[in-house]
Structure 1
């Protein structure tokens, strides 16, 4: 999914949003995952479940708008009505012509947030990376890999 998004941004093409983009989709950096594991080991935390995620994630519209801006792209966000788009994507998926995985487009206009308050308290841990920085870094890596290919 990110490769498709990054290709649109790289080419300066419109970036479609399923819905109006006012939803939030919380992410977590692999580096923050590792530091949370280290914190759990350091604090000898018993077997337990901890939510991991960024702090104060932006809306999808803000996130993608900032990534486009940082990339210096001419891309513009193109919000599309969620119902018809999901219907079309479901049909394409059924025909064996998927543009996105069903797991992706079915939740694309919903907020996905976890509460990390207990994790911060129990592990004395905080994520270092925010969502815009993570996606911008992934885009930069995408550009480097494409340039080397």
Structure 2
């Protein structure tokens, strides 16, 4: 099978590429980012193309059997880039896939489409109230998916929780750095809220199962997250305990901390954006009943197991991680800004 992964050089994209390659599929990657094929044994076809480039995209999609649309502009990007990439880019991918008779498209959406609901667990029929350009753009992209399903193309929409694993950096690199150095790890609020994560290996396996067969029942929307998770405080305590560095969890007053982080965000001196600090003290977990029943499958990794696995990779690759230039993606470290000063105090 010929498989195209948009956003193929990203965190999820590379995990997907390796998984499909091991299953002996012909894998093509499409991304605007640079790609070093030598690092990955030169087994993938790479196309440095923007999903907003209709003609370039059309040439790459022609002849593909399965398209996994994982390309997305992240919340740290400009509003214009978020909207054009996530909305226009998705429309381009689906239009070209329909034109070239792609067997199935799997669209990677986000649980950000739900906003900050009071009801938990969240199920797929709950209201969509996206917060900010990113959440709003994912809602619009899902509407485009539904329109194209009616036009006759097979599309699966997946809404994953925050997923972590090997090579995942971004905000988690900051967390792992503090834990490694034995610092107090501040949580917003008392840490008694439940925040569900997802191991990238579970996400990849679910995507693979959806792509194997063209069942009409797969033309639907599915939440996915860890099946086992505790409170934020309990999950982080377990990670600190595993690290054995002396790091510990520190509860903080939510109101003043959020106000301070909002100011730092406004001044451009903190890597934490509004969605992160506004939801950090809230419950956030989805029902996985629908995806488990449809695929006859269940996520393997708990929050704690996923965190420990990702942290262990970070330690094993510490030198190369620190040698990597900082950026605004999930596969680069983020500049800590004012948090570097906070770290010295704790």
Q: 1:34 aligns with which of 180, 201, 204?
A: 204
Partners of 1:99 and 1:144 in 2: how far apart? 24
Greater share of strand = 2
Superposition deviation, residue 42 in structure 1: 4.6
Corresponding position: 1:146 with 2:301: no
Q: Do the aligned partners of 1:16 and 1:80 also contact (CA within 8 Å) in 2?
A: yes
Q: Do the aligned partners of 2:228 and 2:301 also contact (CA within 8 Å) in 1?
A: no
Which secondary structure state, in structure 2, belongs to the residue aligned with residue 78 of structure 1? Answer: strand
Which secondary structure state, in structure 2, belongs to the residue aligned with residue 84 of structure 1? Answer: helix
1:15 paired residue number: 185
Superposition deviation, residue 137 in structure 1: 1.0
Q: Do the aligned partners of 2:199 and 2:301 also contact (CA within 8 Å) in 1?
A: yes
Paired residues in the alignment total 149
Residue ranges of structure 1 left out of the alignment (5+ in a row) = none
**TM-score under structure 1 normalisation?**
0.93
Q: Superposition pairs for residues 70-149 of structure 1, below 5 Å?
A: 70-148=242-320, 149=323
Deviations 1:70-127 (A, max 9, x none): 1112011110011100000001111121141221111000111011111111110100
Greater RCO between the two (CA within 8 Å, min separation 6)?
Answer: 1
Q: Which moved more, 1:89-98 or 1:39-48?
A: 39-48
Q: 1:65 aligns with which of 219, 237, 241?
A: 237
Q: Do the aligned partners of 1:89 and 1:99 also contact (CA within 8 Å) in 2?
A: no
How well do the aligned residues superpose, as a CA RMSD in angstroms?
Answer: 1.4
Partners of 2:188 and 2:263 in 1: how far apart? 16
Greater share of helix = 1
Residue ranges of structure 2 left out of the alignment (5+ in a row) = 1-170, 324-346
Residues 1:41 and 1:95: Cα distance change in structure 2 (over 3 Å):
closer
Deviations 1:41-66 (A, max 9, x none): 45623311111011131100010000
